[in-house]
Every structure is written in C-alpha cells, then in structure tokens.
Structure 1
C-alpha cells in the first residue's frame, strides 16, 4: 500500500488549501488530508478549532457532528409559546365575560316585549317601574269579577327585586353559549308574579268566590234503596275555581299589560273521577256481591226475622280508593240478641180453648230453646260468603210451631188441665176431644198446689213407685201406681189413684195430692194408651 494513503496523515500547509487530491486508479476517492493539531498546552485546555466545512471530497470531521440544535425542536417550542398565548387570551376574555354578565343581561334578552340586552338590573327596574306605574286591569270569569292595579300585584313596590331575581336566573358561566341564544324572560316574570302579592290577592278572591259556589262531585258508587243495590252515581259539574290556574291566566295576561283578563273555562274545577271509570264498575259489583247475603231466619218454617239488603248496605264501606269492605259483626250480634229472646220456655201464652174459654198461662218447660251462638255463626258464614237465602234458627229444643201473636207454640193436640174446673181434656189433631176426665189436683193448703205452666210428657212407661220426702229429708210416702205419666221433670205427672173416693169438684181442697194429677184407674189406663212422649200438657186455672 503506498505511503500516505492509510498511514500517518500528511501535513497540509496553507499552500495546499483547495488543491485537488491525486487521482487513484479504479475511481476510489482519496482520504482528505487532516489538519495539523497544535500541541496541548501545559494548562490542559483544548484549543478552539474553528469550524471547517467539508472538504471537497464531502468528508466532515468527527468533532463537528451535531454542533447546532436540530431545527424541529425549535419549532415545537415556538408552537407551544404561541398556543399558551392564545389560551391565555381566551381565558382572559372568558373571565371578563363572566364578570360582565354577572351584572348585565345577555344579548338578545327581552321581557314583556322590551329589549333588555346588556342592561343592568337597575336599568330593568326603571323600565318596569315606567310600565307598571299606573297600570290597572279587570279580571272577569266564571264567578269572578274584580279590578286590580300594580299595587295589588305587588309589582310597583318590588320591581327592583323582580329585576334582581330575573338576573339571578342567568348563568354567567355559560355566556359563550348564551350570547348566541334568544332569551325571553317573560316566563320568569310570570313565575315571580305568581309568588308575589298578586297570588295572595287572587287566592283570596278565589276563596271568596268558591264559598258562594258549588264544588264539582266525582262519580262514585252508592246504595240505591229503590234499585235494591249499589249503582254508579254520575259525576256532577260545579262552578268553583282552581286558584293556581286563575293565578297563571291572570299573570300571563297582565305581563303584557292587557286592560282586561278574561278567564277561560280551564279555571273551573272539574270532577277527577267520571262515570266511565272501570274502577267504579268493579267497586259496584263487589258491593252488590255482599248484598247477596240477605237472609230470612225462620222458626219451624215461619220467618221470625230478616237481614235485608238495606241493613247489609249500612255495614258496607267504600274507601277513597274505591276499595269495598264489609263488617258483618254488628248484624251477627243483633241476630244473636234477637234469637236469644225467641226462647219460649216459661213464657206467657194466651189462647182460646176449643170450647171458647180464654186461657192465659205462664211457666213450664215446654217451648223453643234456641242455640243463639250456633245460629250467629251460621249467619256470619252466610253473610260473608254472600250466599244468603233462608236459614232455620238452630235450636236446642223444639216446639210444635212458631209462636203466634199470643205466644202459643203448641199445636191442636194437647192435654188441657183446668184446675178451677178440676177437669182434664185431651184434644186430638183435629181439635176434638179424644179423652177427658175429672181429676184431683194438689192440695193448696199445704203448699202442694199443682204447678201451672206448659209442659210435655217425659215418659209413659206404665207401673212405677212414687216416693215423697219431707223437708228434713225423711220419707213421707211411698206408693206404687200402675200408670205413671210425668210432665214436670219426674216429680209431677198423671197417675192412677184408686184411693181417692171421688174426683172433680172441690174434693181437692181437703183431699188433694202432693201436686200430681190423680185420675180414676180406668181413665189413667185410657190416657196411658193415648199419650206419646212429647205431648203437650197445659196446666192452668
């Protein structure tokens, strides 16, 4: 390899500047000559080397690479400075706008036809005062006629607060958007007036008018006695006023300062429930279902009391929400009380004997004994279910028939014992006498009178031994009889008494029994053959 091509660099003097390098074969470019480097001084400082452009061959020395900053970084910095300046200016403008519109109305703002763009509340206050000063107007409508002025409206005195209130409704922070919108503050004025003295004035006028008027009635469900059931009662129109609607219509009329405000029919209160409401039909049907529980309570097939639809309706309640409730308990309690009073044992009975004698008798153990609790339970079930119909009063003891007006509850078949006549008669089913006999009743002087009352035969077994006891408990008598037919417990009854010398008349006064009805033996035997357990015995004077 030739010396100087890849070896130590050759010194280049000033005279060599700009000289063309020697040409080499194969077109290979020669390495540019390197400048000589001064020796490093003893201070250790590197001498400043002036920048040199590339050699004619395009070579740049290594110590000159990136000697200046890139141009693209300088451009970003400039862009950031510009944007920061723009944003700062925008922020300055925005906050300036907030400050301005905190005390002034937005552009394109109007109120009752007046342009208030950019004006302060004080300026709007003056504008309102000029308009409101001598303003008077009339209000006419259904049941209402009055004349008001600005003072009645509370506008003349409060226009400053009205203006301040309108401005307070604005949002100055949204001014970049709001300045391009139209703003009609009339509705805000309406709202302000509705909460001012005008509202109080109109409310008082409406209350006075309503006191003279008739309020509307909603359609409802009610019991109609003539129809015998619940019906839908149609709604009724009225002429009372809705204060809030009156205030709204008057306020909207007065904000344009009309001399007269005529109220529309919208100010009239209207029924809120009409006859075609499906809930009414449902409530009607539910109530009528309870009316189906109407009952007829019978005794031996004869009606003794009834629970009518009218009575049931008194205990049906319709709520404000048209819910239907029925309380049967007052009716059940009434039934129980009345049924208790239907017992006839021991009751007074007045009747006419077949031979025409009028008889009144009290006492005895024959008659109806009701089961009032069981009957009340059955009534409750019938009412609750809506079944209704006929219900036979439940009894613990029955009689032959329901009591008539005189209280007679036994049939035509009975034994009539007349203590005054000292005679007994047995009437058959057809009312004819099938047996009769003179008797000896209890001895009155010894307190052994035969007890009066209405009884029934307890047994008819024939032979028996009768025993009597003194008050101290010792045996008084013991007698065997052939025919024993008791009617008061097992202590008083009919029996044969062969020891009696005679029967009838006043023989009983001195020779009376211990309370039983003494019969001639043959008559006792006849009666024994005719009697049945349960046959009625009426003992009377």
Structure 2
C-alpha cells in the first residue's frame, strides 16, 4: 500500500515538470513572436547608423535623430596641408531622404533573427541613393569659398608650337584651377560615402593631352615632314625654291588637322609674280650710244598667273611631297634667261634717229631712220614684232593734215597694237638728222628700202623692239 502511494507522487511530479516546461516553451514562443512582430517596425538591437545607436527605434524616431546630425555634420576641404573651408552638408546645398534610406534598411533586416542581434552589431552608412544638391545653394557656397580661378594656374594640354628648329611639343601644364562641377561631385560623393574630408587637388581641371600622347607625336612628325617640303617654281627656264621659312609660316594645326594658310600663300604668289613678271614694267637697258637708259612699259613682257601659282603651290604642299610646279605664264619675251629681252633685239633711238639690230649679242645691222613728226611722235617703250607682211598698204588718217592716206610698202613689221611699226619708205629723200622734225611719219619708223629688205629677211616674229 505504501509502494502505490509513492508511484502516485512520482507521477504527479513528472506531470508538473512537463507542465512547467510547456509553459516555458509557450512563453518563449510567445516572446519570440512578440519580438519578431516588434522588430518588423523597430530596428534590431545593436543597430548603428552613422555612429548613432538606433536600437529599438522606429523609422520616425531614427529619422529625428539622424536628420540634424547628418546634414549638420562638419566637413572639411583641404588643399595639401591647408584647410580651405569647413562647412556642413546643408550649407553646401545637400539634402537627403533619410527616412526612405531608413525604411529600406528596416525592410532589409531579418526580424526573425532578432535574438541573434543581441550578440552581433551592424554599423550602417549613408549611400548616394537619395542624396541631392541644390544648384543655387551650391553656387553661392562655391562663390564664398574664395577660390579665385583667375589667380590660379590654368591647366594646359600638351600642344605643338613652331620653334627655331621646326615644330616641337610643348609639355602639358598641370594647373590649380578648380572645376566647380568636380568639387560638387566630390561633396555629394563624400557625403554619400560618409567621408568628412575633400582633397581639393582632386577637383582641379585635368590635363587631357600629355607630351607622350601618340596622336600628338604623329601630328608632330607629319608637321615636320610637310613643313620641310621643297617646292620649286619653274618659270621661263628658271627655277626658284620656295623659302623654307615661308612654308614654316604658312603651316598650322586647326581642330587636330594640319592646314596651310591659303591667304598667306596667295600673298606670296602675288608678290612672286610682281617680282618676276616683266609686263608693264620700266626696264633698265644698256643702249648703244647713251649707256643705261630707261625703257617705258609697252606691249612687250610677260606675267606669271599668281592665282594659278597659289593653287598649285597649295596643292603641292598638302601632298607633303617635294616637287616642281609650273605656273601659267602669259605674254611675250619668254627667253629663259631671266632677262626677257635677251641679246637679240631691235633698238630705236629717237634722239639719234638711228636703229640697230643685234643678233645673238652682235650688231647685225644699223641704219639712220626717220621717226614720227613732233606732232605725231613715235610711241616709246618695249614692244615686239608681232607680224611680218609683204606688199602691205598702210591706211589711216594724217593727224597733222586731217587727210586720209594709203601708202603701199614692200615690208611691214608692226610692233604696236595701235598701228605703229617698221617699214620701208621710198618717199623719204634722206634719213637721220633732223628730217623727222620736217618730214616725220605718223608714228612709224621709216627705214631705207634696201636696209628694210635685209631687216625683214633676218628678224623673226617675237623679236623685241625697244624705242626710247
């Protein structure tokens, strides 16, 4: 009987233990569920955000704690060892939707793991998400920093300049001018990353092209090749090289393209044509009797086309190849000696009333003549025989008498486009002396018939006629 009572007591004791354990489990489950529910809207234990403990706080409570702390935190701008400015993000125009950031963080935490949070800690930082900056506020902030870019060194890309020995690369210059946009990006970035110091040197305007740039080196090589192009101008049997210093002056780079200044080339071509052309120029001439005399411009001479020269010179230089160009030449006197008169010519002296014909530098014929009457003088200047005609009839009006005339001649060699020429004149009783003052012609050079026959057979079309 006693043994039975003992078993009953033992059974009651076990039942009480199970009840107690059950109650404990139920309590734990309820507590866990309450905790899991609670941390759906509250931050887990040991949650730190921007060094602020947000444990057990709601988003609104955490936001109230962080908003002023984050935007009023002290930030510094450093340039080397020098502090340029101390500011708060708010002063720079920064704003952030911290509430949204906190909501996202709360949403991302695992509320079911809240018991473990008592033994672990998390330290969250701001991200760039939701960070904005007001442009007007930032502009005022930047202006107050006192960063006077005008007084700072400007960054300069490496570039090519003409030097004493051709083109050369001028190395880049790293400046200290501050790019407002880069500084603004740094302020936003630093804030989003939770950093407190900005290195101002990282916000300088950068150098885009350095002296080691492959494209720059290639341009330099091409420039030096083109500027050393040797162009020879061939004209009238003569050759003249374009001066290297002129080519250096014409070449330049624009928008990474090598170019030649066409206006400068045109100016050179015009000057060159003016220098070498002989048309409409007064000449120095060594006369037979009077030494050096001046010969006025006439129909004789040639011109070099400056526009054609400029076009051909421009094209040749752009090829970058040595070569010879031949510009268009118009006119007469293309002797190829540099002196378009040469050593074969007819010389007429009105003062001496005499004519000489030189062939290959030797006197081939000379004779007295009768030139134009003082009232109808022979035109002076440099001309050339442009035609030869046998048995011609000279027609015109005698300017002294007003009467028309017709004069048949055996030999006619016009040298002027207005009717002046050299011909035989059987009507003249004498030549030379003062006969021209009494029996002078209407402007032509009257020549003894027997001499004119020899002259006509000897002289070729194109022979210069110098009248002075």
Output the TM-score relative to the length of structure 2.
0.71
Q: 1:124 aligns with which of 62, 67, 88?
A: 62
Change (3 A) 1:248 1:156: closer
- Count matched residues: 427
SS of 2:147's equivalent in the other structure is helix
Change (3 A) 1:419 1:124: same
Residues 1:172 and 2:100 aligned together: no
Q: In the alignment, what sits opposite 2:125?
A: 186
- CA positional deviation for 1:208: 1.7
Q: In the alignment, what sits opposite 1:513?
A: 441
Q: Is the 8 A contact 1:441 1:517 kept in 2?
A: yes
Q: 2:373 aligns with which of 430, 438, 443?
A: 443
Q: In the alignment, what sits opposite 1:366?
A: 300
Residues 1:469 and 2:396 aligned together: yes
1:428-452 per-residue CA deviation (whole Å, 9 max, x = no partner) reads 544x64432221012232x3x2222
Q: Tell me: higher relative CO, structure 1 or 2? Use CA pairs within 8 A at least 6 residues apart.
A: 2
Return the index of the structure with the highest Cα Rg: 1
Mind listing any 5+ residue stretches in structure 2 that lack a counterpart? 1-29
Matches within 5 A, 1:92-491: 100-101=40-41, 104-105=42-43, 109-125=47-63, 127-128=65-66, 139-142=77-80, 145-148=83-86, 152-154=88-90, 163-164=98-99, 166-170=101-105, 172=107, 184-188=123-127, 192=131, 203-204=142-143, 208-220=147-159, 222-229=160-167, 231-243=168-180, 244=182, 248=186, 252=190, 261=197, 263=199, 265-291=201-227, 295-300=231-236, 301=238, 303=240, 308-314=246-252, 316-317=253-254, 319=255, 322=256, 324-326=257-259, 329-330=262-263, 333-334=266-267, 337=270, 343-353=277-287, 355-372=289-306, 374-400=308-334, 409-430=340-361, 433-445=363-375, 447=376, 449-460=377-388, 463-470=390-397, 476-481=405-410, 483-489=411-417, 491=419
Q: Which has the higher strand share?
A: 2
Distance of 1:459 and 1:385 partners within structure 2: 44
Residues 1:536 and 2:464 aligned together: yes
Q: Is the 8 A contact 2:302 2:333 kept in 1?
A: yes
RMSD value, Cα: 4.8
SS of 1:477's equivalent in the other structure is strand
Q: Is the 8 A contact 1:442 1:517 kept in 2?
A: yes
- CA positional deviation for 1:417: 1.0
Mind listing any 5+ residue stretches in structure 1 that lack a counterpart? 1-88
- CA positional deviation for 1:538: 0.7
Distance of 2:316 and 2:162 partners within structure 1: 23
- CA positional deviation for 1:195: 6.5
Change (3 A) 1:218 1:111: farther
- CA positional deviation for 1:311: 3.6
Output the TM-score relative to the length of structure 1.
0.63
SS of 1:232's equivalent in the other structure is strand
Q: Is the 8 A contact 1:218 1:274 kept in 2?
A: yes
Residues 1:499 and 2:433 aligned together: no
- CA positional deviation for 1:274: 1.9
